[in-house]
Every structure is written in C-alpha cells, then in structure tokens.
C-alpha cells in the first residue's frame, strides 16, 4: 500500500493505475476489445468497464449514496451477477464510450476525496475503499496482460526506464541446491499494521511446520523440458486422477505455448512472437496438474502454502516476520521482477538482493508459484465488504504465492494469497519444489 496515502487520501496511485490500464489496451480496436469467446478470459471492453464500475460502486455509490452513472451499468458490469459466458452478448458501449465513462468515474472520485471525505469516519472508509479499488484495478491489469498472451496479441506497449536494472544483472551464481528451513511454530497470515488487508489473509494464527528443504529457485524451462522429453506427459503413474483426466481431455504433451523446432530445440510463444525457450528462466503457463506430475517425476513435491510463507518470511532463531523475503523495505528492481518492468521473466539466478533469510531467490516476482494447498479460509475468517472476493472460491482452487513480473509491487507481499483452479495454465504461473 506504499502508493496510497492514508492521511491525505491522494488518488494519484489510482490515477496511475488507470493510465496503466489504458496503456495495456491502447493499440486494440473495438473488435479486438471483444475478442473470441473463451472460458479463461473476459472480453477486454467488458473488463475495463468493469474496473470503472467497481470503483463507482464502492467509492461513489456505497460511500456517497450517489445514483448510478450508467442506467444499465449493473446489468453490464456486476461480475457477481453477470455470468461469464454472457459477457460477449451484452450491448456494451464502444471502447471510446467506455473510456469516457472510466474518466468520469475517476474525476468524480477525485472530487469526493478532496471535498467530501472530511470526517474521521469518511476518511477511514475512503482509505479502505481507495485501496480496494486500486488493488482491484491492479489485478485486472495483470489479467489483461495474460489475456493478450492467450489471444496472441502483441506485447503491450509499456515503456519502463528502470527495466535495465533487472535485465542487465548477470546471473552467474550456481544456486541449484535446496535451502534448509527449520521447523517450529509460525504465525501465518498478515500481521502488518496496514489499514487494508485482504480478508483471506486474516486472521493471523499459529501453525506448526516441520523442517523441510525447498529449492532456492523456481523450476526452470530447462528442468521442465527434461520431464517432457522423458515422456512425463505420457506416464500415467505421474499424474493424479484429476490431472490425468485433464491431460487425456486436452491431449497435452508439453506446456501450452511450447513448440518443437525442426532442429530439436524448444521454442515458446511469447505474446505474438515465437522465441527460443530460455533454459534458465522459470517455466510458466503450467497448471497445478503439470506441476504436480513434474514433482512425482523428479521425486519432489510442491510446498504447502505455509511452508512457502515460512521460507519467505521467517528468520533463523527469531520470531520476526518479514513483509518481503529480503525484509520490510519496499520492492526495487534489484530485489524483484515486478511492475512489468521487463515485460517478461528473467533468469531465476538473478536478483540476489531479493533473497530470503534462507537463501531462496525470487520468491516475490518473476512467476507466480503453485503450492500444494487448497484455497480455504483461515480460522476466524470474516468476509470483507467485497464479499465475492474470496468466499465463493474456497475449496476448489489452489493457492499460489509470490506474484509475477506483471504484478504491481504495491499489491504483493509474503502473505498475499492468489488462487486459481488447478487446470488454469493461462496465467503467469510456475512453481518451486521441496524435497520429500
């Protein structure tokens, strides 16, 4: 939440997020902003309108009691009530009309923040819902990037002056060994004093974690290629029942965007381009079933989400819990590949300044990491005002941790819990492993 001022209630962060959202779709025309009907993406014209509607709903209508700006806005953009597969059939406003609506919403929010949120109660509520609106837009910005990948659109046109800080770092160190993490009692969940905490990170509670060994880096393309080349997708004994059903249904023989070149080398589709497979970059666009099968093949396992959090957050012989693997200082390009600075992944051996206390590298940024854990509520869970954020998804999703290259730095921390169904391979997800 570093970009949100809880005393001045400055909406500059929300305005920056809006500029990023519009930059992500700037080159797409109205037809491309609808796109093909797929189960795993939204029509982008609907998605950007939904982002603005969400902010209008919580900051203008919920807090201020305003009337809706669009008479049919709820029928278009309320994701809890508008079924996913119907969103392509809606008579949505044009891209230009949608952007005009987005602009009006943020202008009216700015007026509210500066002129109407004077009481203590209103300032507190404004702080909470500004954060909710900001992070919600950040999440959809990341979703737009993987939608562009799914639909083979060009890489988004985002320029970042800091990108060379990541790209120019030389990754020379061999860190293929495991990190040993001693067991003990650990406080799981968000223990920070931030005004805004996602409901699924609350309430903090004590867990017992046995000693374990975890890979210092995420699994690489090169490592996963050996699994593929050994016939890993054809060996039934490596797959769970649900995983094998998925593999048989999809006929998958390798990660979704991989292809084999005439010379026997692997390549992958990166947005609309075919690029050589980077051996030391993390494997990505693999689902939970693929990660689980790889673990069986390599005689390893996925970490639980609490093991992941302990490896990222704790320190030897200390009760201190770090907000990030390296400490409590905010992310920088030298510590984590975030904020779309590189528009892609980087070498898993890079960024030693971001190591955890146990020497685990890039636990924040670069690629989301699947864990073994089902997405379930913590003890004492109470849904936040936005009740549809977590509660509907408990039980049939898996937890991912750590963020990816497209995740905004202000959103992510060691305790952030992402969640997807185990068959999703369109998101920027990979994994790291533990010794048995």
The string of pLDDT tens digits covering residues 35-56 is 999 999 999 999 999 999 999 9
pLDDT at 1: 33
Q: Is the pLDDT of residue 164 over 60?
A: no
Reported as a single tens digit per residue, the pLDDT across 335-380 is 999 999 999 999 999 999 999 999 999 999 999 999 999 999 999 9
Identify the pLDDT of residue 370: 98
**pLDDT at 169 > cutoff 70:** no
Least confident of 138-147, 190-199, 201-210: 190-199
* Residue 117, pLDDT score: 58
pLDDT band at 177 (very low <50, low <70, confident <90, very high): confident
User: Do 174-219+283-436 and 12-150 fall under one CATH topology?
Assistant: no
What pLDDT was estimated at residue 399?
Answer: 98
* pLDDT more than 90, % of the chain: 84
Is omega for the bond preceding 379 within 30 degrees of 0, making it cis?
no
Closest to 406 (Cα-Cα) out of 232, 156, 169, 234: 156
Specify the higher pLDDT residue, 154 or 193: 154
**What interhelical angle do 95-115 and 12-25 show, nearest 10?**
170
**pLDDT tens-digit profile of 401-420?**
999 999 999 999 999 999 99
State the pLDDT at residue 176: 72
Low-confidence winner among 191-200, 210-219, 258-267 (lowest mean pLDDT): 191-200
Protein fold of 174-219+283-436: 3.90.1580
User: What CATH code is assigned to 12-150?
Assistant: 1.20.120.450
Q: What pLDDT is attached to residue 396?
A: 95
β partners of residue 274 = 269
Is the pLDDT at 142 greater than 70, yes or no? yes
pLDDT at 10: 63
User: What residue segments make up the domains of the chain, in order of their start?
Assistant: 12-150, 174-219+283-436, 221-282
Integer Cα distance of 197 and 203 in angstroms: 10
The per-residue pLDDT for 127 is 87
Does 171 score more than 60 pLDDT? no
Mean pLDDT confidence for 60-71: 93
Q: What's the predicted TM-score (pTM) here?
A: 0.94
pLDDT digits (tens, 9 = 90+) for 326-339: 999 999 999 999 99
Residue 60's pLDDT is what?
Answer: 94
Model pLDDT for residues 297-326, shown as the tens digit of each residue? 999 999 999 999 999 999 998 889 999 999
Query: Beta-carbon neighbour count of residue 354 at 10 Å?
Result: 24
| Burial of residue 340, with CB atoms counted within 10 A of its CB: 0-12 exposed, 13-18 middle, 19 or more buried | buried
Q: How many CB atoms lie within 10 A of CB 168?
A: 8
pLDDT tens digits for range 249-276: 999 999 999 999 989 999 999 999 999 9
């Amino acid at each position: 939440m570093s970009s949100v001022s809880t005393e001045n209630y400055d909406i500059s962060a929300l305005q920056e997020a809006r500029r990023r959202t519009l930059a992500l779709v700037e080159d797409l025309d109205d037809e491309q902003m609808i796109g093909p009907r797929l189960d795993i993406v939204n029509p982008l014209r609907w998605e950007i309108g939904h982002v603005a509607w969400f902010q209008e709903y919580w900051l203008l209508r919920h807090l201020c009691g305003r009337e809706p700006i669009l008479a049919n806005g709820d029928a278009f953009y309320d994701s809890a009530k508008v079924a996913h597969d119907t969103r392509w059939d809606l008579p949505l406003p044009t891209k230009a009309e949608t952007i005009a609506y987005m602009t009006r919403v943020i202008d009216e929010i700015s007026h509210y923040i500066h002129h109407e949120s004077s009481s203590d109660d209103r300032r507190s509520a404004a702080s909470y819902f500004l954060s909710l609106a900001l992070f919600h837009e950040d999440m959809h910005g990341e979703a737009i990037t993987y939608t562009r990948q799914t639909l083979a659109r060009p890489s988004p046109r985002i320029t970042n002056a800091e990108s060379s800080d990541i790209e120019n770092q030389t990754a020379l160190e061999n860190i293929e060994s495991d990190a040993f993490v001693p067991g003990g009692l650990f406080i799981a969940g968000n223990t920070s004093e931030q005004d805004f905490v996602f409901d699924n990170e609350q309430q903090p509670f004590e867990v017992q974690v046995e000693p374990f060994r975890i890979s210092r880096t995420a699994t690489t393309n090169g490592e996963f290629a050996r699994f593929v080349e050994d016939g890993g997708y054809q060996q039934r004994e490596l797959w769970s029942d649900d995983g094998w059903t998925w593999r048989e249904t999809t006929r998958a023989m390798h990660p979704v965007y991989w292809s084999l070149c005439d010379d026997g080398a692997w390549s992958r589709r990166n947005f609309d381009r075919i690029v050589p497979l980077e051996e030391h970059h993390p494997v990505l666009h693999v689902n939970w079933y693929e990660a689980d099968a790889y673990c069986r093949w390599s005689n390893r396992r996925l970490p639980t989400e609490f093991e992941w959090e302990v490896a990222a957050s704790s320190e030897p012989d200390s009760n201190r819990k770090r907000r990030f693997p390296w400490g409590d200082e905010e992310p920088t390009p030298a510590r984590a590949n975030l904020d779309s600075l590189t528009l892609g992944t980087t070498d898993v051996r890079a960024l030693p300044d971001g190591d955890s206390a146990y020497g685990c590298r890039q636990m924040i940024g670069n690629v989301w990491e699947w864990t073994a854990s089902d997405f379930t509520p913590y003890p004492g869970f109470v849904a936040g005002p936005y009740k549809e954020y977590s509660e509907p998804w408990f039980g049939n999703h898996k937890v991912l941790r750590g963020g990816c290259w497209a995740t905004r730095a202000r959103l992510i921390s060691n305790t952030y819990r992402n969640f997807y169904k185990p068959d999703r391979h369109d998101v920027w997800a990979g994994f790291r492993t533990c010794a048995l």
